[in-house]
């Protein structure tokens, strides 16, 4: 049987790290190592870990270097393990997570990384109601799973995978593709890079709980997230550039991702990204690229989340997410639903800046979207 390690990057989560560890110890398929890297915590996090006296736990400490550095070090320390599951120190695993993710990796050698559905919990571990705005965002993001889009296109619409806690994969793949230096987007870059090569799979089982609290990056102002998503997408192009000329399959996948990204409901402003690329169609230094990003960050759009109409759905409109996602699909056949649902759907479409832009540009699909019968 394959050896499995869980890697936990830990930073100032004394209130939650105990729950995280207990969720690992309760797995239906036992893990072989629990590698915890304390990234310069200033609270009692490390002491709580030591109190478990669990022989499978390996605790490493380091000065604060960021989540990506703690993750990479933990993966390196998982020596002898075939698979690695990541669990952030404020999240918890469902009891069958390791078993189900490892089983898929066992059965599908063409897949290197597995993600799953998730549930949202608050600081006390209570499930968050759909009426919460953050729950509405996750519902909108996950609605793409009900569409006919390919996985890489789904990720263009939203980073529904949402967290490094949602990644279980082959240790060799993690070692070959270390997490990058981003503060907010290291998980997004990783899953995009993986999906573009068709090495990512998603299980539609709810197998981990994402804890929402005041320190989450989900609560960060738009400017910081938009800026990092711009940087991340430029970096993605740079990383892929040497392969694009010789790989029509990769070019098609990247084109599909960029097309879907115009409907992004996360933080990627595709309109601002196009302007950034226009600035940067030349060989330029990192300093010049920073200046280009500074220039486009002055756009009003760079301080707004995209497609707010999708995020602000009322609780009674929860099921509309799948229908909204269909505007990125084949746009064929008839949409069905109650009169109230279709009214809300038309309202959301009318408020979409991407639909208005598409109509102005004469894009056929944008015109067809507006032709939903009353």
**Cα separation, 157 vs 152, whole angstroms:** 9
The confidence score (pLDDT) of residue 330 equals 38
What rounded mean pLDDT belongs to the chain? 84
Residue 313 has pLDDT above 50, yes or no: no
Both 209 and 230 in one domain: the answer is: no
Burial class (CB in 10 A: 0-12, 13-18, 19+), 218: middle
> Do 159 and 281 belong to one domain?
no
Query: How many CA atoms are closer than 13 Å to the CA of 184, on its beta-carbon side?
Result: 22
DSSP assignment of 265-316 equals SSS--HHHHHHHHHHT-S---HHHHHHHHHHHTTSGGGGS-S-HHHHT--GG
Same domain, yes or no, for 357 and 278? no
Q: Is the predicted pLDDT of residue 296 greater than 90, yes or no?
A: no
Q: Tell me if 319 is assigned to some domain.
A: yes
Look at residue 331 in the predicted model and tell me its pLDDT: 35
Whether 266 and 155 have beta carbons less than 8 Å apart is answered as no
Last residue of a domain, one of 303, 337, 355: 303
Q: In this structure, are 297 and 349 located in the same domain? A: no
Query: Are 226 and 95 part of one and the same domain?
Result: no
Contact criterion met (CB below 8 Å) for 271 and 358: no
| 230 and 208 inside one domain | no
pLDDT tens readout for residues 19-53: 999 999 999 999 999 999 999 999 999 999 999 98
Same domain (yes/no): 203, 341: no
Average of per-residue pLDDT across 302-321? 51
Characterize the bridge pairing of strands 113-121 and 83-86.
unpaired
**Residue-level pLDDT at 219:** 59
Average pLDDT of span 332-352: 59
Q: What angle do CA 131, 164, 205 make, to 5 degrees?
A: 60
Is residue 37 within 8 Å of residue 27, measured between CB atoms? no
| pTM, entire model | 0.78
- Helix, strand and coil percent figures for the chain, each rounded to 5: 50, 15, 35
Q: Is the pLDDT of residue 329 over 50?
A: no
Summarize the confidence of residues 211-236 as an average pLDDT: 81
pLDDT digits (tens, 9 = 90+) for 190-204: 999 999 999 999 999
Q: Give the residue, 259 or 359, on which the prediction is more confident.
A: 259
Distances (CA, A) of 57 to 24, 25, 154: 11, 10, 36
Q: Please tell me which residue, 305 or 248, carries the higher pLDDT value.
A: 248
Q: Are residues 163 and 277 in the same domain?
A: no
294 in a structural domain: yes
Query: For position 309, what pLDDT does the model report?
Result: 47
* pLDDT-based confidence at residue 207 (cuts at 50, 70, 90): very high
pLDDT of residue 304: 74
Position 321 in a domain = yes
Question: Any idea which of 35-49, 95-109, 139-153, 217-231 has the lowest mean pLDDT?
Answer: 217-231
Buried residues in 57-69 as b, exposed as e (16+ CB within 10 A): bbbbeeeeebbbb
The verdict on 74 and 114 lying in the same domain is yes
pLDDT at site 364: 55
Q: What is the pLDDT of residue 221?
A: 75
Lowest mean pLDDT among 44-53, 286-295, 327-336: 327-336
Same domain, 95 and 49: yes
Give me the pLDDT at residue 355, please. 59
pLDDT of residue 15: 95
pLDDT tens figures, 69-108: 999 999 999 999 999 999 999 999 999 999 999 999 999 9
Q: 122 and 190: one domain?
A: yes
Q: Are strands 113-121 and 200-211 parallel, antiparallel or unpaired?
A: parallel
Residue 154 forms part of a structural domain: yes
d(CA 38, CA 250): 37
**Domain identity same for 14 and 155:** yes
- DSSP classification of residue 197: T
List Cβ neighbours of 249 (8 Å cut-off, separation of 6 or more). none
Q: What secondary structure letter does DSSP report for 148?
A: S
Percent pLDDT > 90 in the chain is 54
Asked if the structure places residue 142 within a domain, the reply is yes
* Inter-helix orientation angle 186-196/248-261, to 10°: 140
Kindly state the tokens that stand for 67: 């989540």
Query: Is 286 within a domain?
Result: yes
Q: Which pLDDT score is estimated for 189?
A: 97
Whether the predicted pLDDT of 317 surpasses 70: no
Q: CATH number, domain at 184? A: 3.90.550.10
In a domain, 374, yes or no: no
Confidence of residue 342 (pLDDT cuts 50, 70, 90): low
The CB density around residue 43, as the number of other CB atoms within 10 Å, is 13
Report the number of distinct structural domains present in the chain: 3
Q: Estimate to the nearest angstrom the gap between the alpha carbon of 37 and the chain centroid.
A: 22
What does the block give as tokens for 155?
A: 């990720």
pLDDT of residue 119: 94
- Indicate whether 63 belongs to any domain: yes
> Where does a domain end: 198, 218, 238?
218
Domain final position from 303, 324, 341 = 303
CA dist 21 and 222 (Å) reads 32
Percent of the chain whose predicted confidence (pLDDT) is above 70: 76
Show the domain range for 236.
222-303
How far is the C-alpha of 236 from the C-alpha of 238, rounded, in Å? Answer: 5
pLDDT of residue 191: 98
Q: Tell me which H or E stretch contains 253.
A: helix 248-261
Q: Of the segments 285-289, 318-322, 335-339, which one has the largest average pLDDT value?
A: 285-289
């Amino acid at each position: 049987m394959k050896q499995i390690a869980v890697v936990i990057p830990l930073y100032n989560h004394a209130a939650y790290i105990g729950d995280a560890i207990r969720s690992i110890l309760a797995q239906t398929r036992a893990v072989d190592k629990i590698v915890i890297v304390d990234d310069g915590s200033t609270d009692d996090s490390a002491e709580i870990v030591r109190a478990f006296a669990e022989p499978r736990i390996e605790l490493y400490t380091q000065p604060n270097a960021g989540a990506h550095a703690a993750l990479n070090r933990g993966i390196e320390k998982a020596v002898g393990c075939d698979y690695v599951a990541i669990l952030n120190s404020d999240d918890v695993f469902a009891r069958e997570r390791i078993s189900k993710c490892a089983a898929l990796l066992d059965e599908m050698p063409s897949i290197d990384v597995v993600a799953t559905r998730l549930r949202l919990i608050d600081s006390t571990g209570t499930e968050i109601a759909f009426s919460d705005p953050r729950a509405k965002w996750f519902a909108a993001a996950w609605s793409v799973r009900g569409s006919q889009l390919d996985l890489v296109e789904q990720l263009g619409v939203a980073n529904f995978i949402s967290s490094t806690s949602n990644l279980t994969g082959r240790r060799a793949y993690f070692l070959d593709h270390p997490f990058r230096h981003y503060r907010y987007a290291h998980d997004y870059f990783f899953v995009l890079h993986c999906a573009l090569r068709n090495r990512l799979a998603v299980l539609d089982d709810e197998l981990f709980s994402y804890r929402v609290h005041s320190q989450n990056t989900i609560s960060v102002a738009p400017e910081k997230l938009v800026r990092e998503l711009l940087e991340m997408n430029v970096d993605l192009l740079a990383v892929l550039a040497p392969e694009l000329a010789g790989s029509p399959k990769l070019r098609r996948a990247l084109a599909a991702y960029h097309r879907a990204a115009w409907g992004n409901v996360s933080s990627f402003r595709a309109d601002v990204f196009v302007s950034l690329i226009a600035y940067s169609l030349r060989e330029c230094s990192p300093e010049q690229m920073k200046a280009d990003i500074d220039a486009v960050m002055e756009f009003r759009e760079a301080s707004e989340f995209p497609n707010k109409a999708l995020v602000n759905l009322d609780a009674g409109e929860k099921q509309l997410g799948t229908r909204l996602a269909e505007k990125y699909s084949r746009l064929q056949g008839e949409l069905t639903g109650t009169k109230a649902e279709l009214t809300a759907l038309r309202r959301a479409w009318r408020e979409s800046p991407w639909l208005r832009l598409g109509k102005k540009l004469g894009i056929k699909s944008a015109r067809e979207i507006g032709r939903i019968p009353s």
